[in-house]
Structure 1
Amino acid sequence: MISNELDIEPWRTQLSQRGRVQIRDFLQDSAADRIRECLEHDVPWEVSQRADLALEGPLPAPGEDGALLRAAYARAREGFEFVFDRYRMVEALRDGRDPGLLLHVVLEFLNSPQFIAFTHELTGDRGIRMVSAMAARYRQGHFLNAHNDSAKDEDRAFAYVINLGRGWQPDWGGQLQFLEGGADIETFVPYWNSLSLFRVPQMHQVTLVSPWARDDRYSIAGWFRR
């Protein structure tokens, strides 16, 4: 599933030195295309907002999306907030939901001995033992504001995003930005078939997807966990 052309060494060095890296052409072309088709056509998405508000559920009916976004924007003025579409891959596989869905195969691959060995080689962290995953779809107006990915109940070593939005342009928004404090911001544009990987914790955000974006920001995302 990973590209046969991938040379780990320069990316391992960059990750070690800077704590984050973006790798282009990460998956084999055929694998990237198949996963994208699954995300676009087969996934039963649910809308997701900040977990402590208990607002997860089915996608809003036509005409309700604007009200949902306006409410999320109002809460974002007060603190941490997000709104995007999500599919919980770990829970779905565990509960036997959606049999035959390609994402189940993806999750099993991400937790295979082969891929866990790859995480060890790329990150230098031999303590990584599993990979969590969810599918995400950011449509126009969706966002995830600043946070650092730390969690009390999980030992998250690295966060990752496999980007599968086609032909993504910088002015479409949906960019992964790292906030160093003050004015220093580094941006990863979610280019097609790229892997964004960074050490946890780091302050970061996903910027608002622009109203003129010509695709949805699809991805598989999660954490390399010890």
Structure 2
Amino acid sequence: MRVPDFLPRDVAGDLRRELLHGLEYERVELGDITRQWRARRPLGDVYFGSMLRRPGWQTPASVVAALEWFESATFLDWLSEVAGEELSFRRPVTAYRMTRSDRLCLHDDMSDPDHAVSVAYNLSRGWRAEWGGATLFGEVAGVTALETPVDSPIELRQWRIVHERRFVPEFNSLLVMRLDERYAHGVDEVRVDHARLALVGIYGRRLS
């Protein structure tokens, strides 16, 4: 499901500026199936620790509060109600930036069997469908192993989906996606030089 106008517009604007001008990014490429920029964190820490800022950049208090809110009990309670099951915070949201020729292969995010929900908060202003970069979501029809480069951190696979749904980036909207081996999602190729910006997080089933 997609929730429009998710945060106050001024907060969304502050977050967009943070992703555009304040964060440092590192290149992520997996074979020829995934190309994108991911916010850098301290060396050796991909998903935890604070995202690194450019020298001299001052992060607004509104951005700090918004990033913390994605980890809050209030957000978790709301997300649990949407998902229909009790969820727990697993790792901080991470900023991703994509531009021309970047893409994210279909995948299921089930590296942990307790993963339950992925959220993608979009900060791409004025995006058009013909620019590519749509989020794809569907039911898995098959998975094929691919030749994996020796330096790849994961085994590369190719998912095929049916009943595909496409979500064109929409500024200040939150996309909530069910995680399960029955479903896969990804981002099709960006065809323009404009920056596609998003914060992405994963939430798991609450452990008893």
Question: Which range, TM-score by smaller chain?
Answer: 0.7 to 0.9
* More divergent stretch after superposition (196-205 vs 126-135): 126-135
Greater share of residues in strand: 2
- Contact 1:146–1:204 (Cα < 8 Å) also in 2: yes
Write out aligned runs for 1:1-226 (5 A). Answer: 21-50=1-30, 75-76=31-32, 81-88=33-40, 90-93=47-50, 98=53, 101=59, 104-130=64-90, 132-152=92-112, 155-180=114-139, 181=141, 184-201=163-180, 202-210=183-191, 213=192, 215-226=194-205
Tell me the TM-score normalised to structure 1 length: 0.68
Find the aligned partners of 2:97 and 2:13 in 1 and give their Cα distance: 16
Query: Residue 153 of structure 2 corresponds to which residue in structure 1?
Result: none
Gaps of 5+ in 1: 1-20, 51-74
Find the aligned partners of 1:136 and 1:97 in 2 and give their Cα distance: 13
Query: Residue 68 of structure 1 corresponds to which residue in structure 2?
Result: none
Find the aligned partners of 1:129 and 1:191 in 2 and give their Cα distance: 25
Greater share of residues in helix: 1
Find the aligned partners of 2:82 and 2:177 in 1 and give their Cα distance: 11
Find the aligned partners of 2:172 and 2:4 in 1 and give their Cα distance: 6
Find the aligned partners of 2:128 and 2:22 in 1 and give their Cα distance: 25
- Contact 2:87–2:203 (Cα < 8 Å) also in 1: no
Percent identical across equivalent pairs?
27
Gaps of 5+ in 2: 42-46, 142-160
Find the aligned partners of 1:88 and 1:222 in 2 and give their Cα distance: 15
- Contact 2:79–2:87 (Cα < 8 Å) also in 1: no
CA RMSD between the two structures: 2.3
Tell me the TM-score normalised to structure 2 length: 0.74
Superposition deviation, residue 31 in structure 1: 1.1
- Contact 1:163–1:190 (Cα < 8 Å) also in 2: yes
- Contact 1:128–1:157 (Cα < 8 Å) also in 2: no
Find the aligned partners of 2:40 and 2:81 in 1 and give their Cα distance: 27
Q: Please give the per-residue CA displacement for 1:2-61, whole angstroms capped at 9, x wherever unaligned.
A: xxxxxxxxxxxxxxxxxxx111111111111010011111111111123xxxxxxxxxxx
